[in-house]
Amino acid sequence: MKELEPLVKAQYPNVKTGTEVTETYLDFLKNEYNSDLSKMLFATSLCCDDINVSTDFRRVLTRPFSMGGLGGLPFSGFTGMVAFAHHVPDGGDAFIFYGPHIGMTDDGQLGKMRRPGQKQLTNSCGALMLALQRLQQADEVYVPINSELDYQQTLLERTVMPYKQRILTSANPAKEITDVAYEEIHKKLSILIRMSKKEFHCDRIFLLGGVIVNTSPEYEDAVEVRNFQMVDTRELNDTVPYFSILESEAFKNL
């Protein structure tokens, strides 16, 4: 990412490479929280796009549980969260990595990227950029219509629709719709965890959320972490106890 680093950091100041994110957070879970990684069940709520391999958590945390669909929304829903809760190994912890992704070209344009094996630029996230294009229609007001054959895209567009004015009046709509997606993924996961509170038999759920930045194949993709949080299932009530590990002295001193 070295050559692109100034362009990436101009948009995402706190970005780190996927390798740095993987090593930093696995080491922190193991050394600061004494988590047995062999007993940790890993889940993702990421877009189903094949480009989303920025981090390497699966190198250590095998058998990932996939919650995400287009745009990264947790489409597995309540049933999926309950299943995830039931699958955590005895005496282990739960860990969920989540967030949307956005492409960046070699000259710093957001919302597009050059994918492996291709010469032309394509959208990233394709689903979010399609939603943005439809929001930007000037000839008529776009209203997502339910379709069993395109359910996820329809729901994604209905999710971002209330933020239409915020997105379209922003300095960079491609970046803004991605930020909206992050906020919605975070919110929905928090609700699903509260709904499933009686189903978790582990004491801790670790949440790591951020925005993945996809770059050309010659460079390493990156992640701007937005949240690193531990939820204590023993204290779960209508409000998820919030403690940002990013604010802890131990994390700041890594």
Distance CA 187, CA 110 (A): 24
The pLDDT of 25-37, averaged and rounded, is 94
Distance CA 114, CA 34 (A): 40
Environment class of 13 (CB within 10 Å of its CB; exposed 0-12, middle 13-18, buried 19+): exposed
CB count, 10 Å around CB of 20?
15
The pLDDT of 183-187, averaged and rounded, is 97
The pLDDT of 117-132, averaged and rounded, is 95
Percent of the chain with pLDDT over 70: 90
Which of the residue ranges 37-41, 58-62, 221-225 would you say has the lowest mean pLDDT?
A: 58-62
Instruction: Give the model's confidence band at 12: pLDDT under 50 very low, under 70 low, under 90 confident, else very high.
Output: very high
Instruction: Give the model's confidence band at 31: pLDDT under 50 very low, under 70 low, under 90 confident, else very high.
Output: very high
The domain limits of the chain are 5-126+175-252
For residue 254, what pLDDT is reported?
Answer: 54
The pLDDT of 141-159, averaged and rounded, is 89
For residue 61, what pLDDT is reported?
Answer: 74
Instruction: Give the model's confidence band at 236: pLDDT under 50 very low, under 70 low, under 90 confident, else very high.
Output: confident
* 109: Cβ contacts below 8 Å, ≥ 6 apart: none
197 Rama class: left (phi>0) / alpha (psi -120 to 50) / beta? alpha
Does position 32 have pLDDT exceeding 70, yes or no? yes
Per-residue pLDDT tens over the stretch 194-224: 989 889 999 999 999 999 999 999 888 899 9
DSSP code of 244? B
The pLDDT of 104-119, averaged and rounded, is 94
* 23: Cβ contacts below 8 Å, ≥ 6 apart: none
Which of the residue ranges 1-15, 112-126, 179-193, 204-218 would you say has the lowest mean pLDDT?
A: 1-15
Q: Are 152 and 142 in contact (CB under 8 A)?
A: no
Q: Where are the alpha helices (DSSP H) in 40-163?
A: 77-87, 126-135, 151-160
Residues 69-96 as b or e (16 or more Cβ within 10 Å = b): bbbbbbbbeeebbbebbeebeeebbbbb
Environment class of 117 (CB within 10 Å of its CB; exposed 0-12, middle 13-18, buried 19+): exposed
Higher pLDDT, 50 or 71: 71
For residue 252, what pLDDT is reported?
Answer: 61
